[in-house]
Amino acid sequence: MTVTLFVMGSLIFLGATLDATLEQIKNKVDVNVYFVTSAPEEDILALKAQLEALPEVASVEYLSREGVLDRFKERHEGDQLTLQALDELGENPLGATLNIRAKETSQYEGIAHFLQNESALESGGESIVDSVNFFQNRAAIEKLDTIIKSSQTFSLVVTIVLVIASIIITFNTIRLAIYTSKDEISVMRLVGASNFYIRGPFVFEGMMYGFVAAVITLVLFYPLTFWLGPVTEGFFGDINIFRYYVDNFGEIFLLIIGTGIVLGAVSSFLAVRKYLRL
């Protein structure tokens, strides 16, 4: 029972790690709209407001021409030749940008179609947009979307298979334990004991097995997640599995304890059924 609950608990941490990793990847995907240097700021901000009103859009960041220039200088602070050439121009050659993040990677195409609308990208009959990088990054974004969906599907399938296998193992183990009491059950049936009276102690025993196994599982997870915490934070980015365990201990406690008790009760109920000749 402890092994079964340990497997189920591990699936919780694996799922949290996978979600955090996918979320980190999603946050690195965006669409940038590059404006011409002559684009009026009020028109850019008007387009920003239109984009923020779209249900697919999670956030829109506006970066002025001066902000774009500052970031350019930061990225090339070690390239004196580039900075010198920039100074010789005597003016800022870079236009403002909008950094757009969608709620889901599959929604970037819809945002790109909106940006293709000429009325949204023009001011006074002239285009205010220099380029939109979605079309250059389209293949990479679509591939990433496929990878994310495949990962989620694979995770769900693996979870279902492991949970079913764990339940079957637990059921068979408890059934073997009850097998040793088959003569006692037969005698109780002969003297007229009711099914509830016979089944009750086994179900209660199964629930106690589940409760104790759940406590052991929760205790085992503490040193394990403490040891794995720095590893997951360094490898998977934002998630520290130990901090996740501590922050969500209440939910994990109820889930593991509840699963243990229910699993023990149901397995015992079904296992003793055979010997009651129901």
161-174: pLDDT as tens digits: 877 777 777 777 77
Q: How confident is the model at residue 214 (pLDDT cuts 50, 70, 90)?
A: very high
- Calpha distance 43→154 (Å, rounded): 45
pLDDT score of 252 more than 80: yes
Show the tokens assigned to 259: 């699963």
CATH number for the region 30-137 comes to 3.30.70.3040
pLDDT tens-digit map of 80-101: 777 677 677 767 778 888 888 8
Q: What is the mean pLDDT of residues 239-245?
A: 85
Q: What angle do CA 182, 186, 190 make, to 5 degrees?
A: 170
Q: Is 87 exposed, middle or buried (0-12, 13-18, 19+ CB in 10 A)?
A: exposed
- pTM equals 0.62
Q: What is the mean pLDDT of residues 11-34?
A: 77
pLDDT score of 131 more than 50: yes
Amino acid of residue 200: G
Amino acid of residue 259: T
Please state, in angstroms and as integers, the Cα–Cα distance from residue 209 to each residue in 77, 204, 230, following that order: 64, 9, 33
Q: What is the CB neighbour count within 10 angstroms for residue 278? A: 8
Q: What is the CB neighbour count within 10 angstroms for residue 110? A: 14
pLDDT score of 278 more than 50: no
Q: What angle do CA 165, 176, 193 make, to 5 degrees?
A: 120
- Dihedral angle, C-alpha 241, 245, 251, 254, nearest 10 °: 120
pLDDT tens-digit map of 51-87: 888 888 888 888 888 887 788 777 777 777 776 776 7
Q: Check residue 163 and give left, alpha or beta (phi > 0: left; psi -120 to 50: alpha).
A: alpha
Q: Do 73 and 169 contact (CB within 8 A), yes or no?
A: no
Q: Is 169 exposed, middle or buried (0-12, 13-18, 19+ CB in 10 A)?
A: middle
Q: Residue 125: what pLDDT?
A: 55
Q: Residue 14: what pLDDT?
A: 82
pLDDT score of 203 more than 90: no
Every domain range in the chain assigned CATH 3.30.70.3040:
30-137
**First vs last Cα of the chain: how many Å apart?**
26
Q: What is the mean pLDDT of residues 196-213?
A: 85
Amino acid of residue 127: S
Show the tokens assigned to 109: 């195409």
Q: Residue 38: what pLDDT?
A: 79
Q: Residue 17: what pLDDT?
A: 81
90-104, 138-152, 198-212, 246-260, range with the lowest pLDDT: 138-152
Q: Residue 257: what pLDDT?
A: 93
